[in-house]
Amino acid sequence: MNKNLPKVFANPINKQLNNNKEVFLSTEEIRYDRMDNILGKINEIFANPHHVYKSKVEIRMGNDVINTVIVGKTNKELLTLNGDKINIKDIDYIERL
């Protein structure tokens, strides 16, 4: 070991640290496994080589079944060819037709 190395300067901490004393807890229940599955399906649809500009899909939201053509997405919504926006959090199932 080389003993000719310079010493490392460490600035002394002369005050009380209060890091991570506050915690935020949300009461909104989010089902991550379902959302991860839905987001994975959506990304799969857009990454498909058959998706050039638009894809015809079947979307189930609760008791509603929608057959539509999607052309894009944002962080929270799917954009359809006829100008509608579908909230991704409301989607229970999505499949490319």
**CB 76 within 8 Å of CB 90:** no
Better-scored residue on pLDDT, 18 or 50: 50
* CA within 13 Å, CB half, 71: 8
What's the CA gap between 49 and 91, in Å, rounded?
23
pLDDT of residue 1: 60
CATH fold label, 32-96? SH3 type barrels. (2.30.30)
What's at 54, amino acid-wise? Answer: K
Domain layout of the chain by residue ranges: 32-96
Model confidence pLDDT, tens digit, residues 26-76: 666 655 567 778 888 999 999 988 888 899 999 999 889 999 999 999 989
Q: What is the largest CA-CA distance in the chain?
A: 75
Higher pLDDT, 4 or 43: 43
